[in-house]
Structure 1
């Protein structure tokens, strides 16, 4: 007897498949329960997450531009260049914010669909309800734990693991470092900028701007690295989970018929004999 989920041979001595943990005799997907396609939304989410990570790196490196322009402003005595540096940073942040919001919406939708799908997988051990796939990201303090628990549940039951894959821990730890670190860095930058002279008249005033951009670049290092790690880990998780769920759902779908097979034209015996007296058959047109 073979498992209907993974196709491995099973033993009557076991109550479940030793590879995918589907109970013996159960189909890959429970009939009558809804499932959702996650291939398209998974691809869109991966693209948005990747774009967010790249654009955040651009924003994190923006102080390099500010430092160069502050040095040029000191050399030329042109204070307007300092205002231009601020405008450039703001313009670089706009695409990142748009990508971030897009990625957030797509990841939430993908998480909800994958969480609903495992309800139709025999042998899945669901923990939090599917509603937490959405609310977990929005409720304060709960968003520090719940999304990771939901994705961990989905990963275990989609990838046939007894324990949560290590990649889930890597993703969530990096995400928390990025999320909390980015907020802290933003506050520190805001306070440091408020202490700068509004209009620098001396080399010391220009040097204060140069030092600000240098320190800001250093402060951005930890959130930027964490953002890249979290983005790569999440992209891999989305790809693996989506592929596993799509393959399992496909096994439960009935094969589509190729079309009716038409009978061949009947053949009737001819009344005329052929050479040697044999009867010949003539097909009916």
Structure 2
């Protein structure tokens, strides 16, 4: 029984160097990750940046900032308790404790917010820079907008989401924007606008309170203020938590996908010149015939000297 014939090399499907799926010559690109056929995972000669570490740091900073904002949004609960305590004790100085608590929670939030902003901008720029080296990626905005988009007034309402959406599509192998990007940006806009509006509203309401509480009406005014402030803070607080959670998931997913792709383009050991790279088809090379070699058992022949006329010596 004869062994089955091997398939011709041109009928063996090529594997995509980005995702490892089998490709079809009927399409110009991989149908899973959209990398053009025959292209490597990362374009040779283009620099890439590590994003896993900076992504982890940015995720932690975003989570810490959201936690501090949530605590500051719940500070009016302590204000209501202190206002009622001040009325029972007849001591308006107790009301200062609410101001001190609010300041104690606001300061670490500002520090964490600034740290998160710096880390997020660095991560965004690195992730945007990487997709330029990904064959098949479709960059929309230049690399500079990954930084300027967060800082330019009015543009920061539109540009950052376009940059992150572009990064998410080209890193997670999507042709459409992932829904998590839409959830993150919608919640972020609600938080950004709501926090400014309600903070201003709280400041105006606090300015109308009596400077020194004397009777029941004065103390009740403080209680009513803190109750209203707590209700107003609920909207941006919920939006802050949703935006932070969705953005952390986005950062972790994009960072992991980019690092895996960059790792695929890095060989485990250097390849010698002419060695085929795994995942690509190398045509068979013709084998040259071996040159004849003398047998080791046959001694080399001595050169023959032609006979000389005259015979031997003395003849």
Q: TM-score, normalised by structure 1?
A: 0.89
The match for 2:112 is 99
Shift, 1:40, TM fit? 0.4
Q: Deviations over 1:223-280 (max 9, x none)?
A: 00000000000000000000000000000012136xxxxxxxxxxxxxxxxxxxxxxx
Instruction: Report the equivalent of 2:247.
Output: 234
Q: Distance in 2 between matches of 1:9 and 1:153?
A: 26
Unaligned runs of 5+ in 1: 258-285
Partner Cα separation in structure 2 for residue 168 and residue 244 of structure 1: 16
C-alpha distance in 2, partners of 1:131/1:185? 33
Paired position in structure 2 for 1:148: 161
Partner of 2:25: 12
Higher Cα Rg, which structure: 2
Whole-angstrom distance in 2 between the partners of 1:96 and 1:82:
22
**Paired residue for 2:195, among 182, 188, 198?**
182
Deviation at 1:188, TM superposition (A): 0.2
Residue-pair matches, total:
257
Runs of 4+ in structure 1 displaced over 2 angstroms? none
Matches within 5 A, 1:55-204: 55-204=68-217
Shift of 1:84: 1.7
What CA distance in whole angstroms lies between the structure 1 residues aligned with 2:245 and 2:123? 17
Once the two structures are superposed, what CA deviation does each residue of 1:192-250 show, in whole Å capped at 9, x if it has no partner?
Answer: 00000011111101100000000000000010000000000000000000000000000
Q: TM-score, structure 2 length as denominator?
A: 0.81
Higher relative strand content: 1
Q: Please, which runs of 5 or more residues in structure 2 have no aligned partner? A: 1-13, 271-315
Provide the C-alpha distance between the structure 1 equivalents of 2:200 and 2:99, rounded to a whole number of angstroms: 16
